[in-house]
A and B are shown apart, each in its own frame.
Chain A
């Protein structure tokens, strides 16, 4: 069958996305060990992992709208890889932040509670936890498709908080945060317009 053949021929795609998405982390690690990250390597690493996390998260959110707009099926097959690697970078981003605070847990807790900029970033990461946890087919079965879908809508909240975190984090130049926020809004809009509607029993008479 054509469908099955197409599915089979694209089996390389998700692994390729994993490799491609993790590659920047390898480059970052290489640069870090070779002293190529400039005068403030920790800040550079924090920024790069944060940017990668939010870009990958946005790409994962783009999969379904792209599928709905084009009818292609491959975007749905890379969504999980994009989402999980976004989570990987968010964790890395948070880990570097913890390291940077000398793991002074008291000051980290204070930072998260006191500074909205940190609070929303932390919340964004926390919301990704259950999604990463339930990213297996077994979880879909256990939760039921409807329940799983409902749970995974949290990704919108997480992405919005990540965009806000990015917006608040920059000193003056808001080009990148603005582009990302616009991208996010566009994806929301596409989803809203293309959302599955309840089937109408009879089409309006004027159209028939």
Chain B
């Protein structure tokens, strides 16, 4: 169980945490299998040290950096965020990591940088799920640069003050709490600043069902199921889903003037 006491910061939710057991055994990480308990059973084959992250594209300081060096650049913070899966379940997770914006500022995007493209590890030996063509590997995700610079956007290296378990995307994963969980790409090996909107894995797999933005939106249903409600893992009754997963006050401004039905 989660026991550490902490003072809640301005970005933290005070809602009760999901059990550490559920956070670490109920995962979507298709690189290790399609079942929710597959990642916790199969991710032992992932070697997270040594691990390097390539940062390139439209930046003044392109580089390949060791994960331990990278996380040593920034003071590690705790962030208690809601996580809303596109499958209509949700959790409250105490992440540990640093703001994505801090990394962005350090590598200095050029004026041509408009989007950030994230790429996960491609290695069917370590990630047995990649032997199946269920998705187009490697997993890729992206954010608009202004989204990436938003203080809520976070790179996690741990949960509850402990190093990330492999099944949760070790050693480095994205956390953007106002978007559906599939945006939170795991086991990142490359971060590229680009000028064009990157093609992302789920948007390629089913473009009518998953968009680039993937902002949590109870008013826009998935074509096959409703997004109006969700089940918080550990609870029986469903609860109403909030626009931008409850972070509307701080992120809605990013999408002013956009038709969120079309840009889903």
Q: Which residues of A contact B (CB under 8 A)?
A: 38-40, 42-43, 100-102, 107, 111, 115-117, 168-169, 171-173
| Complex contact A43–B89 (CB within 8 A) | yes
Tell me the bound Cα distance from A42 to B89 in angstroms: 11
- Chain B interfacial residues counted at CB < 8 A: 24
Tell me the bound Cα distance from A63 to B110 in angstroms: 69
Give B91's nearest chain A residue, CB to CB. A39
Q: Which of B218-245 contact A (CB under 8 A)?
A: 221, 224-226, 228, 231, 233-234, 236-238
Question: Residue B34 at the A interface, CB < 8 A?
Answer: yes
- A205 shortest CB reach to chain B, Å: 56
Contact with A along B4-33 (1 / 0, CB 8 A): 000000000000000000100110001000
Question: Residue B37 at the A interface, CB < 8 A?
Answer: yes
For the complex of A and B, the 7 pairs showing the least CB-CB separation, nearest first, are A39-B26, A39-B22, A173-B34, A117-B224, A39-B233, A172-B134, A40-B89
Give A169's nearest chain B residue, CB to CB. B224
Q: List 7 A-B contacts (CB under 8 A).
A: A39-B233, A40-B26, A42-B236, A43-B89, A43-B231, A117-B224, A172-B206
- A39 shortest CB reach to chain B, Å: 4
Q: Which of B158-207 contact A (CB under 8 A)?
A: 205-206
- SS class of chain B's interface: helix, strand, loop or mixed? loop
Tell me the bound Cα distance from A102 to B238 in angstroms: 8
| Complex contact B236–A172 (CB within 8 A) | no
Complex interface: chain A residues within 8 A of B237 (CB):
102
Complex interface: chain B residues within 8 A of A111 (CB):
226
Complex interface: chain B residues within 8 A of A39 (CB):
22, 25-26, 36, 233-234
Tell me the bound Cα distance from A116 to B225 in angstroms: 10
Question: Residue B260 at the A interface, CB < 8 A?
Answer: no
Give A100's nearest chain B residue, CB to CB. B238
| Complex contact A172–B226 (CB within 8 A) | no
| Complex contact B26–A107 (CB within 8 A) | no
Known contacts A39-B25, A101-B238, A172-B34, then 8 further A-B pairs from the complex at CB < 8 Å, ordered by chain A residue? A38-B25, A39-B22, A43-B89, A100-B231, A116-B224, A117-B224, A117-B225, A171-B87
Question: Residue B135 at the A interface, CB < 8 A?
Answer: yes
Complex interface: chain A residues within 8 A of B238 (CB):
100-102
| Complex contact B224–A168 (CB within 8 A) | yes
Complex interface: chain B residues within 8 A of A40 (CB):
26, 36, 89, 231, 233
- A29 shortest CB reach to chain B, Å: 16
Give A39's nearest chain B residue, CB to CB. B26
Give A117's nearest chain B residue, CB to CB. B224
Complex interface: chain B residues within 8 A of A38 (CB):
25-26, 36-37
